[in-house]
Chains A and B, each alone.
Chain A
Amino acid sequence: MMGARARGSIGSYWRPLCIVLATVLIMVAVWFWLAFVMPRHETLDQRVRDVASQLRCPVCQGESVEDSSASIAQQMRSVIREQLQQGRSEQEVIQYFASRYGEQNIVWAPPWHGFSILAWLVPMTLLLGGAFLLLFVVRDWLRRSYFPSSQSESREPAEIPERSNEQHDDGAWEIYRAQVEKELAAEDVLFQPNVMEGS
């Protein structure tokens, strides 16, 4: 009996963990395969669109060469197509337009050099900084609430019996049900089990 229960609790812990890990592995494998192994079937159209979406339509307000219907944008799209057909790479085509129109006028994303690198670096640094700050603050909170939490624990109602369940899925289901009921009851007194039974 004890043995079965122990095996059950181990099973109910490991089985979901394995399933989740397996799914993550499958997804990573698929993505890896798509990104590196699968041959690219990019049509010329897609490549033209890729390049055109990086370029800003010089006569429009806030439209890319890809989207704009202005005649100059249409001409530029056909130039891109020609150049790609001649075997130039996407970067070379963008460079070609940058040298003709000036980089800051035509390339839409700020380039990764010079002063404009700040456009990329500042948000990234701040986000990372924010993440680290949060990490430290949370560690601090955890350490501080480590001692008083022992008191609040005793005031808490008995924790839901997490591990002592049967082998069936019903066991897990019961636990979850208890949790949902607890949460729902917290929001609505009417829904507390003993109130319902009493009324």
Chain B
Amino acid sequence: MYFSDLGVIALYLALGFALFTIVAAVLGVIYQRPMLVESTRRSVLTVTFFMLLAVAALLASFLTHDFGVAYVAEQSSRAMPWYFTAAAFYGGQDGSLLYWAFMLAVFSAIFVFSSRRAPKAMVPYILATLMGIETFFVLVLVSVSNPFARSVVSPADGVGLNPLLMDPGMLLHPPLLLMGFMSFSVPFAFAVAALITGQLNADWLRAIRRWSLASWTIQSAGLLLGAWWAYHVLGWGGYWSWDPVENAALLPWLTMTAFLHSTMVQERRGMLKVWNLFLVIASFALSIFGTFEVRSGVISSVHSFAYSNIGAYYFAFLVIVILFSSGLFAFRFPRLQAEQEFDSVLSREGVFLLNNLLLVGMTFATLWGTVFPLITAFFIKQTETVGPPFYDQVMAPLTVVLIVAMGVGPLLAWRRTSVASLWRNLCVPALMAAACALILPLFGVTNVIANIGFSVCAFTAMAMLYELWRGMRVRHSHGEFYVVALYQLFNRYRRRYGGYIVHLGLVLLVVGIIGSSYFQQQRDSVALNAGQDMTIAGYRLTFLGNINVQDVDKQTEIAQLQIWYDGQLVKYIYPGRVVYNNYPSQPTSLISINTFNAADLYVFLSDWNGSSQATISVFYNPLVPFVWDGGILMIIGGICCWWPERHRTAASQRKRVVAPGSSVSGEKSEKQKVHGGVTV
């Protein structure tokens, strides 16, 4: 008996228990058998256990180098270090599917443990939906894409991981991104349950708030790591190329961002019910579409590590998901007509509507650009490519408007804002933007688009910081020191101020994108001999020679260069190339990235000849470090919003009981309205 046999058995058992959960949950609710409904919780945990067992079995097969398992032989070799051998787990399609199904089971288990907080009637349907998705994945795993399938003869050594994947990024980016894709299932399950039970008030939204924040944050982290990986591995000096697979990961992120904003409108005002359901379902459908696209290879992409014939299965699943949710929509539509109460366009909810329009517009444009090659291939029999210039031209104006809206939004109150107070609050940020527009040309930023972009970013950043400052002053006037006041703002109003951090991070990220796309410089050297040099942006690079390192499984060619600036030796750098013996045609790069004052000097060894000749490509990328800083800030903000606030709710509920009459805010009456007026 091999570990792989154990894995197969575990998969079949998980499949059985997943099917049982669906049947038991639905029957238990219909025939009102509490015992049956209760049993579904246990069976979900059982599914999780068996998935854990399957994962452990595959991991054990990898670590014991059981090359009789075809997948292990394809993805790993004896020469690989143990951490890459373990990471090869999700290096190919079969393993990444198993990982996906496993994470879904883990999230389902977490839901089971936290299900006391979810509306009670919805729980069985949520579990049934989650296990429905799980069933699909396990079914694919045991039928067409079995990672435990054994080959007839077991080879002495495996092929090894694709060299592009042999990188520290491999340890983090794929698991996070796959987890992000998977995590959209939980809000989707809630949406399905809300539609089936007809409990379409704000309760289910409150219950998924933290789930959707978690998916958003995980997906953001996955996207950011992907960009960083591309930047330091691929050698073209950029971090985002609008590749179909990158787009696929961006699409659900965009709709989830839209949802996180529009959900606040429903929580506060009871509006946009249908829209919120649509966004949640669309996020899930887009995440399945993304996987379909990655795995089927219908659209060519740099991520072509794992093509296969399971595209058809995904497509069928996608169709089922869309039909099922549209059917539920049609079934519940009469109940979804809430009376809308909208006081003024000049309000927080007004800006959120604009935000949603823009984000959904971006989603559609990206989706359209991604599938356009297919459309042309179908209608005019020739594949028209859609590349970065298209996306840049479509997304840039939308992003500019989005950032302006981001700056104006926090200045507006819910319900309505007087025009006078809006002008007053706009003064400081607008002055900042004008100052930015005036000063930048003096420093040589003469590109008009870059100037518009930077000014808009200055406006929004100032609006955020000013808002933060005023919040601090309010608390300060209650007798708190400024530092304490700042801490208390974040401690107490996490959602609000965490959101500001995310916005500031996005502004920083956009500044980085503008900087690197309008002010990048590039030089290719001719073949340099030892002692020759090249210059870029004031830096002089002197080539000294090549070092060749032979390993068991690879050989590494490293060029040695000096960076000089202003007549001073700054540092030695060692860009290089690695050629793995199993993949001689795919040399990977060791790129030397040197950050000087918010700009990267990106040095890439493009060719070499013996020990004394090399061809070097150098990119000077201004402001790229801001992309990473901004991204990290966004993730911190996301975690800040997500972080549980058990203390506060308990304390404030106690207070609410003690002093029910003390409420002077309009918010309370509004909340009651949401509870009372919109409940169906």
The one of B372, B388, B434, B437 in contact with A119, judged by C-beta atoms closer than 8 angstroms, is B372
Query: Which chain A residues (121-147) contact chain B, with CB distance < 8 Å?
Result: 122-123, 126-127, 130-131, 134, 138, 141-142, 144-145
Contact B420 A12 (CB under 8 A): yes
Instruction: State whether the Cβ of A95 lies closer than 8 Å to any Cβ in chain B.
Output: no
Contact A186 B665 (CB under 8 A): yes
By DSSP majority rule, is chain A's interface helix, strand, loop, or mixed?
A: helix
The one of B385, B433, B524 in contact with A104, judged by C-beta atoms closer than 8 angstroms, is B385
The one of B389, B424, B495, B520 in contact with A16, judged by C-beta atoms closer than 8 angstroms, is B424
Instruction: State A175–B250 Cα separation when bound (angstroms).
Output: 41
Min CB gap A193→B, angstroms: 8
Instruction: Please indicate which of the listed interface residues B375, B380, B448, B604 has the most CB atoms of chain A within 10 Å of its own CB.
Output: B448
Min CB gap B131→A, angstroms: 36
By size class, the interface of chain A is 35 or more
Contact B364 A45 (CB under 8 A): no
Question: Nearest chain-A residue to B479 (Cβ)?
Answer: A196
Contact A123 B361 (CB under 8 A): yes
Query: Which chain A residues (163-188) contact chain B, with CB distance < 8 Å?
Result: 163, 172, 175-177, 179-188
B91-99, B255-263, B469-477, B549-557: which lies at the interface: B469-477
By DSSP majority rule, is chain B's interface helix, strand, loop, or mixed?
A: helix
Question: Nearest chain-A residue to B673 (Cβ)?
Answer: A152
Query: Which chain A residues (73-113) contact chain B, with CB distance < 8 Å?
Result: 74, 77, 104-105, 108-110
Question: Nearest chain-B residue to A131 (Cβ)?
Answer: B357
Contact B474 A189 (CB under 8 A): no
Question: Nearest chain-A residue to B339 (Cβ)?
Answer: A144
Q: A13-B423, A115-B379 are in contact. Are A188 and B648 (CB under 8 A)?
A: yes
Contact B493 A23 (CB under 8 A): no
* Chain A positions within 8 Å of B360 at CB level: 130
Instruction: Please indicate which of the listed interface residues B521, B651, B664, B669 has the most CB atoms of chain A within 10 Å of its own CB.
Output: B664
The one of B304, B365, B451 in contact with A31, judged by C-beta atoms closer than 8 angstroms, is B451
Q: A20-B426, A62-B302, A109-B387 are in contact. Are A190 and B651 (CB under 8 A)?
A: yes
Query: Which chain B residues (393-417) contact chain A, with CB distance < 8 Å?
Result: 393-394, 398, 413-414
Contact B437 A104 (CB under 8 A): no
Instruction: State A155–B665 Cα separation when bound (angstroms).
Output: 11
Question: Nearest chain-B residue to A146 (Cβ)?
Answer: B343
The one of B389, B421, B492, B666 in contact with A53, judged by C-beta atoms closer than 8 angstroms, is B389
Instruction: Please indicate which of the listed interface residues A63, A118, A144, A189 has the most CB atoms of chain B within 10 Å of its own CB.
Output: A189
Contact A155 B669 (CB under 8 A): yes
* Chain B positions within 8 Å of A27 at CB level: 433-434, 437, 455
8 A-B pairs in the complex with CB atoms less than 8 angstroms apart: A67-B237, A104-B376, A118-B372, A119-B372, A144-B339, A183-B414, A187-B667, A189-B662
A34-B447, A61-B300, A145-B343 are known contacts; what are 5 more A-B pairs with Cβ within 8 Å?
A22-B434, A69-B604, A105-B385, A116-B376, A188-B652
Instruction: Give B residues with C-beta under 8 Å from A.
Output: 235-238, 241, 243, 300-302, 304, 339-345, 350, 353, 357, 360-361, 364-365, 368-369, 372, 375-376, 379-380, 382-390, 393-394, 398, 413-414, 418, 420-421, 423-427, 430-431, 433-434, 437-438, 441, 446-448, 451-452, 455, 470-471, 473-474, 477-478, 492-493, 495-496, 520-522, 524, 604, 606, 617, 648, 651-652, 655-656, 659, 662-669, 673
* Interface pairs A-B: 8 shortest CB-CB: A186-B667, A108-B387, A67-B236, A141-B342, A109-B389, A23-B434, A16-B423, A123-B365
